[in-house]
């Protein structure tokens, strides 16, 4: 990447806080007070201090990262830059020293840096939460204690293949191909973003071919599901799962639902673009059954979130235990929380909704369908969702001996 040098200036807090990030890439400023000290500012607004100086010994410029502003104060950055400059002038190759030091790190230590630096700098909280869980369960036990320099492509490939025979910690069964691929992606991202000077051992490892899951709740299963939800002692869990199936929304969106995003007059929930998987705002109709649950929760609300908690995020984070209770109570096998979303889509299709209507309701996005979605309003979406919910709720009136009938699932 070509460096954009935006000039020299005396570093002060006032000037640094007033810097305008570049539209793309990175921009650099040099300090007029301390030779060799410069800052890098990214398009995201992240400011990092560096020492950069010409090495007569190595016949090239050498760059040493000092720390991120404002965590690292300007005065401290100047002191560190002076020390680094003196070492460069004495012939030290600080870049090679950094590579050697990184090569001696364990994968666990490098992963922690990855979370602290890359995930934090890019404000990727969802990425951090998901990746940490996958890493701790599937990467750390096999590779975490090894030095990053000794992890080879053959080692990664053998580990990746072996994941498919590994037992799940909870719920029984083996790890899916999708989970194994996410674990591989965690290693690839770590080396790409935090250890770019080292060969990436995951770069050439092929992902498993994933089979699209088509599981959704059949009529008799829905009856058991609704009965289990009605008897669930934790009302947060019960109402979370009911809203999940009544809206067809993604798990993270329901967990982070805010009162400010709900319009009871229009019966509409707007998921902000920065919380949507497609990075576009998503409008979801709220059916009467969903509004009844939300109005009751609103009456006793004390938080900006519909499902508050005392954790770091401020909202409910992990409903797996509640889901396990529901499934055990209802006798459901091989059913995941995401299958509630697929159930809404499936019953919309069964009720006669087109692929475009179903896709808009679920917030799906594809190159082929985007133009069609853009021309749809929410009236047919709401109507199809009401039909789907009517079909689902009708299962509670099925006789006990009702057989499960084969139904064609909508696409995930």
**pTM for this structure?**
0.53
CATH superfamily of 219-397: Intergrase catalytic core (1.10.443.10)
- Please determine, looking at this structure, whether the domain spanning 4-102 carries the CATH number 3.30.160.390: yes
Summarised one tens digit per residue, pLDDT across range 260-311 is 999 999 999 999 877 777 677 889 999 999 999 999 999 999 999 999 998 8
Contact between residue 352 and residue 387 where contact means Cβ atoms under 8 Å apart: yes
**Which residues, 6+ apart, have CB-to-CB distance to 318 below 8 Å?**
none
Tokens of 372: 């069609």
Cα gap 25→15, rounded to integer Å: 20
**Same fold flag, 4-102 and 219-397:** no
Counting beta carbons within 10 angstroms of the beta carbon of residue 5, is it exposed (0 to 12), middle (13 to 18) or buried (19 or more)?
A: exposed
The two three-digit tokens of residue 250, written as one number: 């993604």
Query: Domain-by-domain residue ranges, the chain?
Result: 4-102, 107-194, 219-397
What pLDDT tens digit does each residue of the chain (412 aa) get? 334 445 888 999 999 999 999 988 899 999 999 999 999 999 989 999 999 999 888 889 999 899 999 989 999 999 999 999 998 988 888 887 777 676 678 999 999 988 887 776 655 666 777 888 899 999 999 999 998 888 999 999 999 999 988 765 554 457 788 889 999 999 999 999 888 878 899 999 999 987 666 788 888 899 999 999 999 999 999 999 999 999 999 888 999 999 999 999 999 999 987 777 767 788 999 999 999 999 999 999 999 999 999 888 899 888 889 999 999 999 998 888 988 988 888 888 778 877 777 777 777 765 443 343 344 556 667 888 888 888 888 877 766 554 444 444 444 4
- Residue 406 φ then ψ, to 5°: -70, 130
Is-cis flag, bond preceding 70, omega within 30?
yes
CA distance 11 to 14: 8
CA distance 66 to 49: 5
Asked whether 263 and 306 are in contact (CB, 8 A), the reply is no
N-to-C CA span, the chain: 39
DSSP state letter for 396: G
> How high is the pLDDT of residue 282?
86
Return the pLDDT at 226: 93
CA atoms within 13 A on the CB side of 242: 26
pLDDT at 206: 92
Q: Cβ distance 39 to 33 under 8 Å?
A: no
What DSSP element (H or E) covers 82? Answer: helix 74-89
Q: Which of 339, 349, 341 is closest to 384 using CA atoms?
A: 349
**Cα–Cα distance between 139 and 161 in angstroms, integer?**
12
E-assigned strand segments in 367-406: none
pLDDT score for 120: 67
**356 Cβ contact partners less than 8 Å away, ≥ 6 residues apart:** 369, 372, 373, 376
- Classify residue 9 as left (phi > 0), alpha (psi -120 to 50) or beta: beta
């Amino acid at each position: 990447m070509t460096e954009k040098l935006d000039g020299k200036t005396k570093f002060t807090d006032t000037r640094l806080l007033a810097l305008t990030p570049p539209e793309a890439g990175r921009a650099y400023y040099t300090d007029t007070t301390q030779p060799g000290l410069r800052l890098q500012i990214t398009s995201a607004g992240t400011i990092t201090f560096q020492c950069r100086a010409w090495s007569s010994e190595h016949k090239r410029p050498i760059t040493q990262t000092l720390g991120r502003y404002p965590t690292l104060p300007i005065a401290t950055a100047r002191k560190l830059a002076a020390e680094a400059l003196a070492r460069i002038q004495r012939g030290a190759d600080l870049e090679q020293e950094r590579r050697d030091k990184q090569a001696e790190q364990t994968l666990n230590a490098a992963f922690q840096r990855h979370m602290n630096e890359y995930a934090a700098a890019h404000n990727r909280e969802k990425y951090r939460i998901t990746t940490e869980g996958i890493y701790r369960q599937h990467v750390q036990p096999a590779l975490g204690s090894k030095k990053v320099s000794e992890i080879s492509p053959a080692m990664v490939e053998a580990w990746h293949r072996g994941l498919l025979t590994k037992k799940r910690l909870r719920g029984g069964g083996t790890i899916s191909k999708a989970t194994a691929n996410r674990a591989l992606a965690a290693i690839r991202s770590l080396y790409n973003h935090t250890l770019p000077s080292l060969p990436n051992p995951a770069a050439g490892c092929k992902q498993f071919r994933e089979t699209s899951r088509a599981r959704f709740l059949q009529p008799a299963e829905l009856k058991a599901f609704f009965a289990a939800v009605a008897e669930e002692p934790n009302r947060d869990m019960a109402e979370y799962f009911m809203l999940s199936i009544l809206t067809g929304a993604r798990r993270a969106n329901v967990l982070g639902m805010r009162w400010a995003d709900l319009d009871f007059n229009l019966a509409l929930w707007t998921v902000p673009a920065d919380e949507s998987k497609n990075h576009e705002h998503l409008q979801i109709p709220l059916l009467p059954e969903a509004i009844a649950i939300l109005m009751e929760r609103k009456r006793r609300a004390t938080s900006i979130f519909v499902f508050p908690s005392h954790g770091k995020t401020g909202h409910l984070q992990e409903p797996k235990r509640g889901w396990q209770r529901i499934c055990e109570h209802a006798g459901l096998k091989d059913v995941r929380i995401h299958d509630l979303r697929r159930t809404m889509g499936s019953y919309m299709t069964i009720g006669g909704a087109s692929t475009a209507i179903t896709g808009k309701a679920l917030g799906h996005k594809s190159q082929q369908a985007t133009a069609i979605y853009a021309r749809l309003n929410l009236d047919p979406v709401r109507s199809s969702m009401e039909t789907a919910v009517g079909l689902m709720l009708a299962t509670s009136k099925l006789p006990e001996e009702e057989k499960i009938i084969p139904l064609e699932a909508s696409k995930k």
